[in-house]
């Protein structure tokens, strides 16, 4: 890794750069990137989320609380310093650059403009000073050094009908064109992959776990152009070819992925597009720079894409599909937990990876299963103290008949997406494990049963899940909840539930996770997660009220609960939830598993 950093510094000296910023982002600001864009991992060996800054005398990685333990381990011996974010007194990259180059008249910062959003680059300019910051935009900056760099992915494309997604492509495009017309725009350029997939009712597998297609979409008042083709169709690409034909029949003009820049420049030059709307948080700097250089001032307007919010509010067909997905997924989860308990009780040798593989086997038997919605976190004991633990195939920890096992997993189905975490005791647990387990569950219940006024944002509810932990001077460093897509990205916005300010209100139809946790390095980790649907809760003189309805169907283990830590309302919620799980799932389970689940869901 030191050699790769050295090679980058040689490039910097030859080109007059003062700093290089590398991200793990693809050209679409995706959370998960295809192998081609895992630049931070290639340079540093660190495989979590984060950004890398290299100067002549410093190499630093910026990441948040979810990855501190992982980053500390993977960066050891590389000479790369860990910069912690989402903590008190954090210093983010723009501010760090400003301080580091305080005495410079001009600072040249090189970025791979494909991997940084326009918004991120502007933040650097503002912090360092626009009058003394020169941005060197170098698309595919690492390609001269990364000689075996993977190609841009190209996978088969499928399309979904209205019986699955509710709204047709035509309906969605009509809605978007009305938005353009109402706002006075001629076109919108969409670069967020899940927004494109939602608009076109198209899915692929260009990115692991996310059923999306690497592409751009340009929608004008009378045309739809999808920049998606990465080369000629091969003779055996029947599925992709048929889908392209179907999309073309619906008025979607299929273009080459690499032609997006040239096409935009031509349409602007011809005055075909006079006012173009873009989302600068997802549009990469390279394209944004091209647009600004080739369009009159103020003809490119940046803001928040309207698609993200519309996509987040699920329609009746999507909600029905999500219910079905959680029913099927719940059966798989209960089969897995029964198998796990039986294996441990019998003293059978078992490790974390084998557990992950077994859960995959159970999900694979469900018709419509299309893979995991993220990499399964199968973690025993100290492994679970890493919120984003990567379960190794070789050398994963053995399970024993004591302590806690955590499994965070999810499935992608043609009719919905799931995400669930269950922490279960494998045998005797310490008093600290029991207390932590109960307090995290107490926080989960508090948020699950809340009733709140319309217009409330997730950041206003976050403290409900943390209060039981705070009262015992305990906490967790990640967000409490994230939005979930419909057979799409398991993490989506614009809503979330976390401490950082996000004014987006929670709306009926949104699907969000509730997942408080606690992590003790070297000891254990605990997380309890359900997906919930935001629904109406009535109206009175004080306005309209909302609440959460659990979608996830899988019992919470009550065997190690410290009952004195729960009040009557919390015990009532827990008993009702577990009872509902049994009543819903037991008719679909074999008798031995149903009997086991009955004992697991008895009232406490």
433 within 8 A of 540, measured Cβ to Cβ: no
User: What are phi and psi for residue 210, nearest 5 degrees?
Assistant: -105, 120
- Neighbouring CB atoms inside 10 A of 303's CB total 13
Estimate to the nearest angstrom the gap between the alpha carbon of 58 and the chain centroid: 30
Percent of the chain with pLDDT over 70: 97
154 within 8 A of 206, measured Cβ to Cβ: yes
CB burial string 115-152: b at 16+ within 10 A, e below: bbbbbbbbbbbebbeeeebebbbbbbbbeeebeebeee
410 within 8 A of 420, measured Cβ to Cβ: yes
Closest CA to 516 of 460, 477, 554: 477
Instruction: For residue 235, name the pLDDT band (cuts at 50, 70, 90).
Output: very low
Burial (0-12, 13-18, 19+ Cβ within 10 Å), 263: middle
Burial (0-12, 13-18, 19+ Cβ within 10 Å), 211: buried
Res 495: pLDDT: 97
Q: What's the CA gap between 284 and 380, in Å, rounded?
A: 39
Instruction: Please state which of the ranges 287-291, 348-352, 457-461, 514-518 shows the lowest mean pLDDT.
Output: 287-291
Structural domains of the chain, ranges and CATH numbers in brackets: 2-137 (3.40.350.10), 158-308 (3.40.350.10), 316-600 (3.90.230.10)
Mean pLDDT of the chain: 94
Region for 528 from its dihedrals, namely left if φ exceeds 0, alpha if ψ lies in -120 to 50, beta otherwise:
beta
514 within 8 A of 450, measured Cβ to Cβ: no
Instruction: For residue 569, name the pLDDT band (cuts at 50, 70, 90).
Output: very high
Does pLDDT of 233 surpass 60? Answer: no
The bridge status of strand 224-229 relative to strand 216-220 is: antiparallel
393 within 8 A of 414, measured Cβ to Cβ: no
Instruction: For residue 249, name the pLDDT band (cuts at 50, 70, 90).
Output: confident
Q: What is the pLDDT of residues 177-220, one digit of tens each?
A: 999 999 999 999 999 999 999 999 999 999 999 999 999 999 99
46 within 8 A of 23, measured Cβ to Cβ: no
Helices (H), 101-230: 118-128, 162-165, 169-183, 193-200
């Amino acid at each position: 890794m030191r050699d790769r950093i050295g090679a980058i510094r040689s490039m910097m000296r030859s080109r007059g750069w003062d700093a290089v910023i590398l991200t793990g982002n693809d050209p679409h600001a995706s959370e998960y990137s295809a192998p081609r864009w895992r630049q931070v991992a290639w340079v540093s060996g660190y495989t979590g989320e984060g950004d890398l800054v290299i100067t002549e005398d410093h190499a630093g990685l910026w990441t948040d609380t979810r990855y501190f333990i992982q980053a500390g381990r993977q960066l050891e011996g590389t000479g790369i310093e860990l910069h912690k974010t989402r903590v008190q007194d954090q210093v983010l990259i723009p501010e760090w650059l400003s301080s580091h180059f305080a005495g410079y008249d001009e600072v040249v910062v090189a970025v791979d403009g494909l991997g940084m959003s326009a918004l991120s680059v502007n933040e650097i300019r503002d912090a360092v000073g626009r009058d003394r910051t020169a941005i060197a935009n170098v698309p595919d900056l690492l390609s001269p050094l990364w000689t075996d760099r993977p190609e841009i992915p190209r996978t088969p494309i499928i399309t979904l009908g209205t019986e699955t997604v509710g709204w047709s492509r035509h309906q969605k495009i009509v809605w978007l064109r009305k938005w353009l017309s109402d706002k006075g725009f001629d076109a919108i350029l969409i670069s967020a992959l899940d927004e494109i997939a939602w608009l076109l009712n198209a899915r692929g597998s260009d990115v692991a776990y996310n059923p999306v297609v690497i592409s751009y979409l340009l929608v004008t008042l009378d045309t739809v152009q999808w920049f998606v083709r990465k080369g000629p169709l091969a003779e055996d690409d029947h599925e992709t070819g048929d889908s392209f034909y179907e999309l073309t029949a619906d008025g979607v003009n299929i273009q080459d992925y690499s032609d997006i820049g040239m096409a935009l420049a031509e349409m602007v030059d011809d005055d075909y597009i006079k006012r173009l709307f873009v989302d600068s948080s997802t549009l990469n700097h390279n394209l944004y720079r091209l647009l600004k250089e080739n369009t009159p001032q103020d003809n490119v307007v940046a803001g928040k894409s309207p698609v993200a919010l519309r996509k987040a509010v699920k329609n009746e067909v999507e909600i029905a599909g999500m219910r079905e997905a959680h029913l099927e997924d719940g059966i798989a989860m209960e089969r897995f937990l029964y198998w796990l308990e039986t294996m441990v009780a019998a003293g059978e040798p078992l490790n974390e990876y084998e557990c992950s593989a077994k859960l995959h086997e159970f999900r694979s038997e469900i018709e419509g299963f299309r893979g995991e919605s993220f990499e399964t976190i199968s973690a025993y004991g100290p492994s679970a103290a890493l919120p984003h633990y990567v379960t190794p195939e070789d050398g994963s920890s053995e399970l024993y008949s004591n302590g806690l096992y955590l499994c965070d997993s999810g499935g992608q189905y043609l009719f919905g997406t799931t995400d669930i975490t269950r922490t279960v005791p494998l045998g005797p647990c310490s008093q600290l494990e029991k207390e932590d387990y109960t307090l995290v569950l107490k926080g989960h219940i508090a948020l699950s049963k809340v009733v709140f006024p319309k217009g409330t944002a997730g950041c206003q509810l976050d403290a409900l899940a943390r209060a039981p932990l705070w009262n015992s001077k305990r906490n967790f460093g990640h967000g409490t909840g994230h939005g979930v897509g419909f057979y799409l990205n398991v993490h989506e916005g614009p809503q979330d539930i976390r401490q950082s300010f996000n004014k987006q209100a929670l709306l009926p139809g949104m699907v969000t996770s509730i997942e408080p946790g606690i992590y003790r390095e070297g000891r254990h980790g605990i997380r309890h997660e359900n997906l919930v649907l935001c629904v109406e809760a009535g109206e009175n003189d004080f306005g309209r009220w909302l609440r959460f309805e659990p979608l996830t169907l899988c019992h919470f283990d009550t065997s190690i609960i410290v009952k004195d830590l729960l009040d009557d309302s919390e015990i009532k919620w827990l008993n009702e939830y577990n009872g509902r799980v049994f009543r819903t799932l037991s008719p679909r389970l074999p008798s031995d598993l149903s009997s086991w689940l009955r004992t697991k869901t008895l009232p406490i």
